[in-house]
Amino acid sequence: MPNLRVLDLSSTSIKTSPLSVSNLIKLRELLLRNCELLMELPHEIGALGNLKVLDLEGTYLACLPKEVGELNKLRCLKDSLYDAVSYRKSKRRVNIIPRTILAKFTQLVSIILIEHKI
């Protein structure tokens, strides 16, 4: 499947994105929406140099690996914040997308962060 361009694993029970995903060098869209058990992305995700869409809405990722910053063709990033109100009240800083990563997204057109209350 080296020519795969869209991988939709949405609403599955995966806990981590398979390392083999990094071999899909022509992948343009990685859809992991509503993968509620997904807790982390592998560092190898940075190898997806042609990725344009990364949809993580409905996942419980605490943060993104720094290698996401290597996705220089990324145009759309969707993610979720869960119970961000509790973070604000506790004065803890929510840092799901570090500035160092954001600065590398030169082609990014949209970031969609959805806040969910638990």
CA distance 106 to 92: 28
Architecture of domain 6-116: Alpha-Beta Horseshoe (3.80)
Question: What's the mean pLDDT in 12-29?
Answer: 89
- Mean of the per-residue pLDDT values of the chain: 80
- pLDDT for 102: 73
- pLDDT for 16: 82
pTM tops 0.95, yes or no: no
- DSSP state letters, 32-94: -TT-TT--B--GGGGG-TT--EEE-TT---S---GGGGG-TT--EEEEEEESHHHHHHTTPPP
Query: Roughly how many angstroms between the first and final C-alpha of the chain, as a whole number?
Result: 38
| pLDDT tens-digit readout, 47-105 | 999 999 999 988 877 778 889 889 999 999 888 765 544 444 544 444 466 677 777 77
* Domain boundaries along the sequence of the chain: 6-116
- pLDDT for 113: 67
